[in-house]
Amino acid sequence: MNKQPGTQIKLTNVSIVRMKKGGKRFEIACYQNKVSEFRSGVETDLSEVLQIEQVFTNVPKGLVAKKDDWAKCFATDDMAKVIEEILRKGELQINNLERSHQLSSLNREIATMVSEMTVDPTTNRKHTVGMIEKTMSDLGFSVRADRPAKAQALDLIKKLSDEDSKLPVRRVRMRVRITMPGKDAKRIKEKVIAEAEEVEEDEMGAEWEAIVQINPGAFRTITDLVNNETKGKGRVEVMGSVA
Does one domain contain both 162 and 207?
A: no
Model pTM?
Answer: 0.56
Q: Which residues of the chain have pLDDT under 50?
A: 1-6
Amino acid symbol at 33: N
Q: Would you say residue 233 lies in a domain?
A: yes
Q: Please say which residue of 67, 93, 119 terminates a domain.
A: 93
Number of domains in the chain: 3
Judging by DSSP bridges, how do beta strands 173-181 and 170-171 pair with one another?
unpaired
DSSP 101-112: HHHHHHHHHHHH
CA 19 → CA 16, 52, 128, 190, distances in Å?
10, 17, 42, 57
Residue 1: per-residue pLDDT: 41
Q: Would you say residue 5 lies in a domain?
A: no
Q: Please say which residue of 64, 93, 122 terminates a domain.
A: 93
Q: Please say which residue of 133, 155, 170 terminates a domain.
A: 170
Domain with 200, as residue range(s), is 172-242
Residue 2: per-residue pLDDT: 41
* Residue 178: CATH number of its domain: 3.30.70.240
Alpha helices in the chain (DSSP H): 34-40, 46-49, 67-74, 79-89, 96-117, 129-139, 149-160, 182-194, 219-230
Q: Would you say residue 115 lies in a domain?
A: yes
Q: 3-state DSSP call for residue 113?
A: helix
Residue 50: per-residue pLDDT: 93
Residue 146: per-residue pLDDT: 74
* Residue 156: CATH number of its domain: 1.10.10.900
Residue 184: per-residue pLDDT: 94
